[in-house]
Chain A
Amino acid sequence: MDVSQYLEIFIDETKEHLQTLSDQLMILEQEPENMDTINEIFRAAHSLKGMAGTMGYKRMQRLTHDMENVFQEIRSGNMKVQPELIDVLFRGLDALEAYLAEILESGNEGTEENEEIINTLNSIAAKATGKEPPEPMKTAQPQETASASTEEAPAEAKYTSIQINDYEKNTFDKAVQQKENIFGITVYLQETCILKAARAFLVFKALEEHGEVIKAVPNVQDIEDEKFDFDFSLVYFTKDSAETIKKAIENVSEVKKAIVGAFMPEMEKSEESEKHDTPKEVKKDEKAVNNAGAAQQTVKKAENKKAAKKNTKTTKPTVGRTVRVDIEKLDVLMNLVSELIIAKNGLVSMSSSDDSKKDSGFNEQIEYLESVTTNLHESVMKVRMVPIESVVSRFPRMIRDLNKKLNKKMELHMTGEETELDRTVIDEIGDPLQHLLRNAADHGLESNEERLALGKEEVGQIYLDAYQDGNNVNIVVRDDGAGIDVEKVKQKAIEKGNITPEQAEIMTDKDVIDLLFKPSFSTAEKITDVSGRGVGLDVVKTKIEGLGGNIECKTVLGEGSSFIIRLPLTLAIIQALMVELGKEKYAIPLGSIQTIEDIPVSDVKHVQTKEVINLRGTVIPLIRLDQILDVETNEEEPESLTVVIVKKGDKQAGLVVDNLIGQQEIVIKSIGDYINCSKLIGGATILGDGEIALILEVNTLV
């Protein structure tokens, strides 16, 4: 049965089941007696087993089968959940994930048997129930390889599967008349062989001295072009014996092995009859090969595996990226599309109606169209939105492992897993978050003893909070550990020559912490000595900025630190305020705008030579956009300034603009990599009249 069409479903569902297993195992570890959890795990393992079986993933099936068995025993009360069992189960889970990854990559489950996990599972089950342990896998192993090697032999002599067409059959008959021997030959080249085509050519040349090559698989052209792995098969006529031919081939250097055997053109014939027809000497020869090869067989098997793996690695992943969409969301989309069609029809009929009605009717229809497209956009965006849960759900497990590995007691608290982000962002955000969490666990939190000595709760707390904030989604990774020692970072930075002592004097704490995100600062061990931070934080930062977001760090020495990641909700279309500067138009993303104010020039104050305004008690720095963007403007200063107040986190700034045009939905387009404009410009958009407006990157301005 062809199951490839179910592959995507299989992968999605397997992921879900694995996640359930992981979640439930975490619960089980806390509450070993929880019957609901045990049942849930049993069900998930059972479905996994069934699905893997249907898809033909035997190894996966066996592993899940044994996991299921263990739970069967627990369910029926024959055994209790012990910590070591949980550990093994988690390892089993990892193994299943590895299978899944392999399937994603290559479409098959790979060859890892995970004997050890299976054995441990079985022995635990056996010990607990007092039953005779099922025959350990290890003893079964030799038999299996033995049977495998006998199976392998015909598989290695690949020539047996060469197909012969009518034309070639004629030559065959002729050869038989001339009493020539017909051999099938499979030549294996060494895996290290570089000039495979050249070696193959030498093999052909050697063969031509003794007889005639009738057919090659892959064909001669492909062999010349090196379009074969490390073996090729031939059909060959000769008057010489198999022995001589074999020798001739193996004389060519870098040939690992040649298998020569009688070749029967009729493929329908069973192997039995084929062997009967085989001349005796050849049969013997083949046997000798088999015997000699038997010892190497296991090694060879492993090599084959490796080779096979290499091959599959180069192929593209077999499964595309998918999003599971709620059917309701699709219904809404469908509905909107039909409304769009109605709107179009409305316009069509309007254009054919008489002039007097036209004007008012057109406006009405355009308004209708506008509302439909806005809704359509929103719905499409929603379809692309995925709850952040799909990335963060693996973190409790990770913290659990770190618990054991670092020998530190800690807890992870997550909130806002339901917060939704664009699929492309979700795919990318996992690694940076993992990085930050690891940092928090490894370096942020003090050891349990230190915590007790400091009068803190023994168990370290790590928080992962996600929430929506305007057009952004904020993700905060927070710990209640030691915090970052700013002074030490400063010293290290001076030592490393990143800053001068004079610079260090005037640097604010924030500036110092920003140093941690500098690439030059991320050499792991050194920074761990200083502050326990900075391992690859620059990578985290680059990744997040690549997604159009930003990251900042707040820390209080002795109380912990938090990393705040701010990500854009959507990537492609945003609401923006269009403003005018001189004759140029710019767009400011609405999400970062707080208010728009009219400020009399007389209210502008100067603090440290910088212009500020005092807006309802808050001092806000002014940014003269025309100066920053080198826009030519009128010399004369107007009586009042139009100031757009924008925010980045809790920082505010006032952007001075000449004119406000209005709010508009804009499609963000990249201006390409060629132009280097110091990140002031986040992109461009095309306005209704075909003109281009640049989008200001508020995060760089503030």
Chain B
Amino acid sequence: MEDVNEVQNVEVVDEGIQYIVVRIGSEQYGIDIRYVDNIVRNQRITRVPKAQPYFKGVINLRGEIIPVMSLRLKFGLEPDEFTNATRIIIIKPESQSAIGIIVDEVKEVVTLDSASIEKPNSADANDVQAKYLSGIGKYEDSLITLLNITSVIIDKENV
């Protein structure tokens, strides 16, 4: 059995990394599936006073208090409009507590190999958004902005 498992694992690695594709505004973003703990429907968010503006508040996820961040506000877009498709993606980075991010829609899971990922242009490095990106993924006809999720949630400068 072990051998079989190993072979499968190797195949996954060869195929590249899996991303969850989400829509925020009109753009598509990819989140590395290894960081995703859970995807939940929009629920009541309790506002936390005096928090950073892009933190919408905290939610109760099965007895755990989880802070929720708005990517739209973080990226300087229009404030979120909550619809039926709105989801909160619970991110669980290694050795850190969980955090939720609000997205307009969860579309699909895609697998991208390294050939179809373009590294960000170093000339853009000064751009506010650029530091949150880890690359641009090409999938079928569309482009997916791949989020560098750790730098999105751990943002020293804005704290």
Residues of chain A at the chain B interface (Cβ within 8 Å): 584, 628-631, 669-678, 680-681, 684, 686, 690-694
Nearest-neighbour CB distance to chain A for B158, whole angstroms, equals 9
**A671: which of B48, B50, B52, B69 is its contact (CB, 8 Å)?**
B48
Tell which of B50, B55, B60, B159 touches A686, judged by Cβ atoms closer than 8 Å: B60
A692 pairs with B49, CB closer than 8 A: no
The CA of A684 and the CA of B49, in the complex, are separated in Å by 12
B63 at the interface (CB under 8 A from A): yes
Which of chain A's residues have a CB closer than 8 A to the CB of B60? 686, 690-692
CB distance from A679 to the nearest CB of B (A): 9
Contact A680 B58 (CB under 8 A): no
Q: Mark B45-83, 1 if CB is under 8 A from A, else 0.
A: 011111110010011100111110100000000000000
A676 to B48, CA, bound (A): 9
Partner of A672, one of B44, B47, B63, B67: B67
Most buried by B among A670, A675, A690: A675
Which 6 pairs, one residue from A and one from B, show the smallest C-beta to C-beta distance? A629-B49, A692-B46, A677-B50, A675-B51, A669-B65, A677-B51
Q: Which residues of A contact B102 (CB under 8 A)?
A: none
Query: In whole angstroms, how far apart are the Cα atoms of A694 and B63 in the complex?
Result: 14
| B143 beta carbon closer than 8 Å to chain A | no
Find chain B residues with CB under 8 A from A691 CB.
44, 46, 60
Contact between chains at B49 and A631 (CB < 8 Å): yes
Contact between A677 and B58, CB atoms less than 8 A apart = no
| Contact among A669, A670, A678 with B50 in the assembled complex (CB-CB below 8 Å) | A678
B153 within 8 A of A: yes
Asked if B49 contacts A674 (CB within 8 A), the reply is no
By the criterion CB–CB under 8 Å, are B49 and A630 in contact? yes
Report yes or no: B48 in contact with A686, Cβ–Cβ below 8 A: no
Shortest CB distance B50–A (Å): 4
Residues of B within 8 A of A (CB): 44, 46-52, 55, 58-60, 63-67, 69, 97, 99, 153, 159
- Dominant SS at the A interface? loop
Complex: A694 Cα to B60 Cα, angstroms: 12
**Distance between Cα atoms of A584 and B49 in the complex (Å):** 11
Task: Tell me which residues across on chain B come within 8 A of A629, comparing CB atoms.
Answer: 49-50
Of B52, B69, B153, which is within 8 A of A676 by CB? B52
CA gap between A610 and B94 in the complex, in Å: 47
B50 with A692: CB separation less than 8 A = no
Is the CB–CB distance between A671 and B65 below 8 Å? yes
Distance between A17 CB and nearest chain B CB, rounded to angstroms: 40
- Which of B49, B52, B65, B67 has its CB near the most chain A CB atoms (within 10 A)? B49
Q: Kindly report which residue of chain B lies nearest to residue A586, judged by CB atoms.
A: B49
B67 with A674: CB separation less than 8 A: yes
A677 and B69 alpha carbons, distance in the complex (Å): 14
Instruction: State the CA gap A691–B60 with chains docked (Å).
Output: 7
**Which has the most chain A C-beta neighbours within 10 Å: B51, B153, B159?**
B51
Q: List, in ascending order, chain A residues with CB within 8 A of B64's CB.
A: 669
Q: With A and B bound together, what is the CA distance between A399 and B102 in angstroms? A: 57
A690 CA / B62 CA spacing, docked (Å):
9
Q: Which residue of B lies closest to A669 (CB)?
A: B65
B66 contacts A672, C-beta separation under 8 Å:
yes
B99 near A692: Cβ-Cβ < 8 Å:
no
A584 to B159, CA, bound (A): 25
Give A693 to B49 CA distance when docked, in angstroms. 12
Q: Which A residues are CB-close (under 8 A) to B69? A: 674
- Additional A-B contacts beyond A628-B49, A630-B50 (18; CB < 8 A): A630-B49, A672-B67, A672-B97, A672-B99, A673-B97, A674-B67, A674-B69, A674-B153, A675-B48, A675-B58, A681-B49, A681-B50, A686-B60, A686-B63, A690-B60, A692-B46, A692-B60, A694-B49
Residues of A within 8 A of B59 (CB): 692
Q: Is the CB of A694 within 8 A of B50?
A: no
Complex contacts, A673 vs chain B, CB 8 Å:
97
Contacts of A674 in B (CB 8 A): 55, 67, 69, 97, 99, 153
CA A693 – CA B47 in complex, angstroms? 10
CB-defined A-B contacts under 8 Å, sample of 25: A628-B49, A630-B50, A631-B49, A669-B65, A670-B65, A672-B99, A673-B97, A674-B55, A674-B153, A675-B48, A675-B51, A675-B52, A675-B58, A676-B51, A676-B52, A678-B50, A681-B49, A684-B65, A686-B60, A686-B63, A686-B65, A691-B46, A692-B58, A692-B59, A694-B48
Task: Report B-chain residues with C-beta under 8 Å of the C-beta of A676.
Answer: 51-52, 159
Q: Across the interface, name the chain A residue whose C-beta is closest to B50.
A: A677
Which of chain A's residues has its CB closest to B155's CB?
A: A674
CA distance A676 to B158 in the complex (A): 10
The reply to whether A675 and B46 form a contact with Cβ atoms under 8 Å apart is no
Bound CA span A674–B67, Å = 7
CB-CB < 8 A to B50: which residues of A? 629-630, 677-678, 680-681
- CB neighbours (8 Å) of B153 from chain A are 674
Q: In the complex, A691 Cα to B49 Cα: how many Å?
A: 16
CA gap between A690 and B153 in the complex, in Å? 26
Complex CA distance for A694 and B46, rounded to whole angstroms: 8
Q: How far is the CA of A671 from the CA of B99 in the complex (A)?
A: 10
A631 neighbours in B (Cβ, 8 Å): 49
Q: Which residue, A631, A690, A693, has most C-beta atoms of chain B within 10 A?
A: A690
A674 to B150, CA, bound (A): 12
Q: A584, A671, A676: which has the most chain B beta carbons within 10 Å?
A: A671
* Distance from A399 Cβ to chain B, minimum over Cβ atoms (Å): 42
| Distance between B35 CB and nearest chain A CB, rounded to angstroms | 14
Contact B58 A671 (CB under 8 A): yes
In the bound assembly, the distance between CA atoms of A681 and B47 in angstroms comes to 11
Chain A's closest residue to B59 (CB) is A692
Using A671-B58, A672-B97 as known contacts, say yes or no to A677 and B48 having CB atoms under 8 A apart: yes
B contact residues around A693 at 8 Å (CB): 46
A676 and B49 CA atoms in complex are apart in Å by 10
Q: Do the beta carbons of A684 and B58 come within 8 Å of each other?
A: yes
Q: Given the complex of chains A and B, what is the CA–CA distance between A584 and B66 in angstroms?
A: 18
Bound CA–CA A678/B48 (angstroms): 11
Are B49 and A680 neighbours in the complex by a CB distance under 8 Å? yes
A440 to B153, CA, bound (A): 44
Contacts of A669 in B (CB 8 A): 64-65
**A residues within 8 A CB of B47?**
584
B22 to chain A, nearest CB (A): 20
Q: Give Cα A671 to B59, complex, Å.
A: 10
- B49 contact from A670, A672, A677, Cβ within 8 A: A677
Task: Give the complex CA separation of A677 and B47 in angstroms.
Answer: 11
> Which residues from A are CB-within-8-Å of B66?
672
| Least CB distance, A588 to chain B, in whole angstroms | 14
| Chain A residue, CB-CB nearest to B47 | A584
Which B residues are CB-close (under 8 A) to A690? Answer: 60
- Which has the most chain B C-beta neighbours within 10 Å: A670, A674, A677, A692? A674
Find chain A residues with CB under 8 A from B63 CB.
686
